[in-house]
Structure 1
Amino acid sequence: MRKLWKQAIGLIGLVLLLAACTDNAGSEKDGKHLTFVYNFATNSLDPNVDSSYVPLRAGLTETLVQLNEETLTIEPWLAESWEGKNEGREWTIKLREGVNFQNGEPMNAEAVKASLERSLKDNVAIQNALKIDSIEATDDMTLQVTNTQAFPEFISELVNPNVSIIDVEAGDFVNNPIGTGPFKLESFTPGSKLELVRNEDYWDEKAKLDSVTFSFNEDANARSLALESGDADVVFRPEVESIESLEARDGVKVESTETFRVHQMTMNMQREALQDVNVRKAVDALIDRDKIADSVLLGYAQPAKGPFPDSLPFAPSYSEHQTGSDLAKEYLEKAGYSLEDGKMQKDGKPLTLTMLTYSARADLPLIAQIFQSDAKKVGIDVELRQIEIPEEYMAANRDWDLATYSNLTAPRGDAGYYLNATYHPDGALNFSGADEPELTKIIDELNVTVDADKRAELAEAAADYVDEHQINSFVIYPDTLVAYDETKVKNWVTTRSEYYMITNKLDVK
């Protein structure tokens, strides 16, 4: 029954997807065309605030620097070189010569300054991440940036897609941002799709594709069906249950790669029950990571020990977590709870928890359901609440206890991004409301430390503090799954950062 219901929902999603992917006249695109289906929809292409990072992923915009995913080092992109001094408080950034925006306007120091200043003005998270005090254009192609503090990792933060460089003077950032990427926007249907055409004046090697349809569908089954029917060439995160059938189809290739992502259980530490560390540890003990990895992701995941996978050079040596309902009951007893009439209670009040989840990542609602079932066995009622945009909801509302959430923990190739965003009081993703002076002190020290070994030591200290005080729980490290028609698609690369998707190298046969 569950499978039939999912197929029905998927077919509905496929009908909507076909409407998004097909021209009104139903005609074929001229030249080399590729249709890509992504799992998160967006109603705005403003790169400074779009949390889906679609402008960068679609090849519309670029950042000053980019991440080399093999070496986890920062490389030039729109910036040609940079130099820091005064312990990373002052930076000189040389811009790449000969780059124009897609409207023909030159990308020079004044334009980049305006773009960065707009990003700082419109995005508080970027203000906190970049720690910029001032930006000056010292000549046509040189920027002088002064930070509010010593910040040796400043350049790595410029990888952030929200700091994509756009022509501010062009306006209409929501519907048609003007960037420097290999593709230009032909049309945008909010929540549905982008139609892209090659930027003939691109500063680097011209794109091999003539056009791209970048469409959205949050239903994983519909994405898989679109590939099977030939209405999509590449689908991001197909339904896990469809992988076997997709792999059995001639010409379909499924790629699975480890990523920097962790599925976590975010805990709202401002809620009364969760202010007790023993309750938080009980929640952690109820997470059956092996079952979730095997039954929800069908083995395309590894049980998580902490925020950073072992493959990262700065991942700590995590201690083994004991789990199970008996251990959860022990922690709850320490917190003053007892099981009475099948309900876990304290002072006559049952322990009930509200858990948020969202369907754009199909595995998160399933993780929530497994936790709900396991919590019920120890007398805890968990109410599941579906939301649409988790970042917006969790930032604006505190009427929840737990949330299934997915986070890229090292998209800049360093531990600093995640630790600052998630556990610093000023962090953009600090949805737990953590304000731990000792932890903040470690993160602040990390921010001004240059030595790689010392940074790794501080990252481990921060991760250990999070573990000891159970500020959030870490469930699994999911693999990134992409499926595509290999008889047609050439040069697709499944990246660990999930940033670089529609590139000038991507091609069709």
Structure 2
Amino acid sequence: MRDTSPRPLPSPHRFPGLRRRGFLAATGAVSLGALALTGCGGTGTGPTDDAGEGGSPKKGGRLRAAFAGGGAGETLDPHMANLFVDVARAKALFDKLADYGADLSARPRLAERWEPNRTLDRWRVTLRRAVFHDGRPVTAKDVLYSYRRIADPKRAFRAKASLEPVDLDASRATGERSLEFVLKRPTAEFPNVLAAFGAYIVPEGATGFDRKPVGSGPFRFRSFTPGRSAVFARHDAYWEGAPHLDEIEFVVANEESARVNALLGGQIEYAHELNPATARAHEGGDRIGIVRLRGSAMQAFCMKTDRPPFDDERVRRAFFLIADREELVDGALSGAGEVGNDLFGKGYEYYADGLPQRAPDLDEARALLKQAGAENLKVTLDTSAVAAGFTEAASIFRDQAAKAGVTVEVRMGSKDSYWSDVLDRGTLCCYRSGAMPIEAHISQRLLTDSTTNATRWRHEDFDALYRQAQSTRDRTGRAAVYERMQRRLYAEGGFLIWGFADWIIGTARTVKGVETEAPANTLDWARFDTVWLA
């Protein structure tokens, strides 16, 4: 059995760079990669609720938050945010026109309101009154500059693909705080574009983000040492109200054990991304608090539908019936999650929750394989240590498949190239995704021309349903179309979605106000303006 007892806090000699101000990053990084990147103010509380006199928020203090980092190449350019620590720093310094709520629907942020025309191909957006850290007001020109910078064909900014529906040459400012966005086609879910991961608003003409970045977020720049530490101070003029904290310091610790030991030793107050064993060891104890963000990461097996054996829908249906989802969640996620039902976005807006929960049926699976002429099927399952639970899930599913007469050979891939490799090669692979709207999941992964269509799901009638949904102004009618699409995927799609993993955060007992309901990649994940120290 693995030893989960706390280890001694590493000394500066054992962990170079561990000093009063933070950690020196080791090599390597944790990327949002498959956890793709993603409101209203958080109102949740931390793991305990006895926050000072009467539970009232307290002003002051510096909170130190530890994340895995990216070394000396880290940047504060919000449009380059690819790591979790990048995004956490970006949302402290900057803001977007919208962001995702706990159900992954778009909520107004710098945009006070938005309204489409009758045909859904022009949207009027009105900005709220907000100021940058240098006192300048946030204007429509800043928004257009930011979006045009993101869309620069010479740059690889994260939100570029999300802005593709917008004709930025035709879009214009209609006032200091008003804009008209002209779209290339009807887009009912245009607010998701405003909330897109990485679509932060910067001042017109802004450059030099690593020297002294200026944003309109709840904290202003104080200092930054790439791969080591970033310190930001309270922005008193923040449009949603000044943060409770005086300062937030982001420190870098790539190893989970280092983050946990620093938290136990009082060198940090917030540790991002803990594993289930750590959570079990400390949950309910009095040393640190454990926060579980439910439904944060989809866990799946991806079947390529354009090549044997998964070009036969009977084989895909058989694999749906082979999977014991409870065993996969218990074994691969150590129980830190909930079972899936072969559909993305459990609990999110538009999720088709009326479909029967799938359970193993090995007799029916064997019958389907026999009908498909695949009674003695052998397949290769690609996996890697690139994500938690991948290798465990592959081994568990291999054993489950054997009970149905299917031989699964597990092939280990490189952590460095796994995600690019499995988009094209092989027939079956381990897959995961972070929180995003169901509409974005469909448009980015399930349309004929989607750039990350890992299942090779290409059906013109399915594409037509997506266009119909985007052209439907009435939300109820739009939801009905999305349900039709999900029923089709449930019956014959290429994603065997077996679970949804918790995202686990550790906090000191003095930390209050941490949101507990929002999945990772939403507005209230890694949000520190609503947090305080008791």
1:244 to 280, 287, 292: 280
Kept in 2: contact 1:269–1:432 (CA 8 A): yes
Paired amino acid for 1:317 = G
1:63 to 92, 96, 118: 96
SS in 2 for 1:380: strand
Task: Structure 2: state its 5+ residue gaps.
Answer: 24-59
Question: 2:78 aligned with 1:47, yes or no?
Answer: yes
Paired amino acid for 1:431 = A
For residues 14 and 477 of structure 2, what CA distance do their matches in structure 1 show?
49
Partner of residue 348, structure 1:
none
Question: 2:387 aligned with 1:387, yes or no?
Answer: no
For residues 375 and 103 of structure 1, what CA distance do their matches in structure 2 show?
60
Which string of whole-angstrom CA distances, capped at 9 and with x for unpartnered residues, describes residues 235-294 of structure 1?
Answer: 233221122321253142222343364222223335443333333334433432111222
Question: 2:514 aligned with 1:492, yes or no?
Answer: yes
CA gap of 1:73–1:303, structure 2 versus 1, over 3 A, is: closer
Question: 2:530 aligned with 1:505, yes or no?
Answer: yes
SS in 1 for 2:396: helix
State the shift of 1:310 in Å: 5.1
CA gap of 1:450–1:163, structure 2 versus 1, over 3 A, is: same
- Say which structure is richer in helix: 1
Kept in 1: contact 2:93–2:218 (CA 8 A): yes
Paired amino acid for 1:479 = D
Partner of residue 347, structure 1:
none
Partner of residue 382, structure 2:
355
**1:335-350 mapped onto 2 (5 Å cutoff):** 335-339=372-376, 344=377
CA gap of 1:186–1:241, structure 2 versus 1, over 3 A, is: same
Paired amino acid for 2:298 = V
- How many percent of aligned residue pairs carry the same amino acid? 20
State the shift of 1:164 in Å: 1.2
**1:15-94 mapped onto 2 (5 Å cutoff):** 19=16, 22-23=19-20, 32-38=61-67, 43-52=74-83, 54-58=85-89, 59-69=92-102, 74-94=106-126
Paired amino acid for 1:239 = N
Question: 2:444 aligned with 1:404, yes or no?
Answer: no
Task: Structure 1: state its 5+ residue gaps.
Answer: 345-350
For residues 8 and 453 of structure 2, what CA distance do their matches in structure 1 show?
37
Partner of residue 131, structure 1:
165
Kept in 2: contact 1:372–1:381 (CA 8 A): yes
For residues 506 and 352 of structure 1, what CA distance do their matches in structure 2 show?
49
Kept in 1: contact 2:220–2:232 (CA 8 A): yes
For residues 473 and 171 of structure 1, what CA distance do their matches in structure 2 show?
44
For residues 369 and 13 of structure 1, what CA distance do their matches in structure 2 show?
34
SS in 2 for 1:308: coil
For residues 482 and 470 of structure 1, what CA distance do their matches in structure 2 show?
33
SS in 1 for 2:79: coil
Paired amino acid for 2:19 = T
CA gap of 1:98–1:459, structure 2 versus 1, over 3 A, is: closer
State the shift of 1:118 in Å: 1.7
1:258 to 294, 311, 317: 294
The structure showing larger relative contact order (alpha-carbon pairs under 8 Å, at least 6 residues apart) is: 2
Alignment TM-score, normalising by the size of structure 1: 0.82
For residues 456 and 204 of structure 1, what CA distance do their matches in structure 2 show?
32
For residues 443 and 231 of structure 2, what CA distance do their matches in structure 1 show?
36
For residues 286 and 140 of structure 1, what CA distance do their matches in structure 2 show?
58
Paired amino acid for 1:94 = T
For residues 326 and 13 of structure 1, what CA distance do their matches in structure 2 show?
54
Paired amino acid for 2:190 = F
Moved more, 38-47 or 432-441: 38-47
- RMSD, matched Cα: 3.5
**1:69-468 mapped onto 2 (5 Å cutoff):** 69=102, 74-100=106-132, 102-121=133-152, 122=155, 123=157, 126-127=160-161, 131-133=165-167, 134-167=170-203, 169-172=205-208, 178-188=214-224, 190=226, 193-217=229-253, 219-259=255-295, 261-305=297-341, 306-309=343-346, 314-323=351-360, 327-339=364-376, 344=377, 351-359=378-386, 361-375=387-401, 378-388=406-416, 392=420, 394=422, 398-409=424-435, 411-412=436-437, 415-468=438-491
Question: Number of aligned pairs?
Answer: 483
Partner of residue 3, structure 1:
2
Alignment TM-score, normalising by the size of structure 2: 0.78
Paired amino acid for 1:269 = T
State the shift of 1:427 in Å: 3.2
For residues 517 and 402 of structure 2, what CA distance do their matches in structure 1 show?
39
SS in 2 for 1:468: helix
Kept in 2: contact 1:14–1:226 (CA 8 A): no
Kept in 2: contact 1:176–1:185 (CA 8 A): yes
Paired amino acid for 1:383 = R
CA gap of 1:256–1:497, structure 2 versus 1, over 3 A, is: closer
Moved more, 308-317 or 145-154: 308-317
For residues 326 and 227 of structure 1, what CA distance do their matches in structure 2 show?
50
State the shift of 1:109 in Å: 1.4
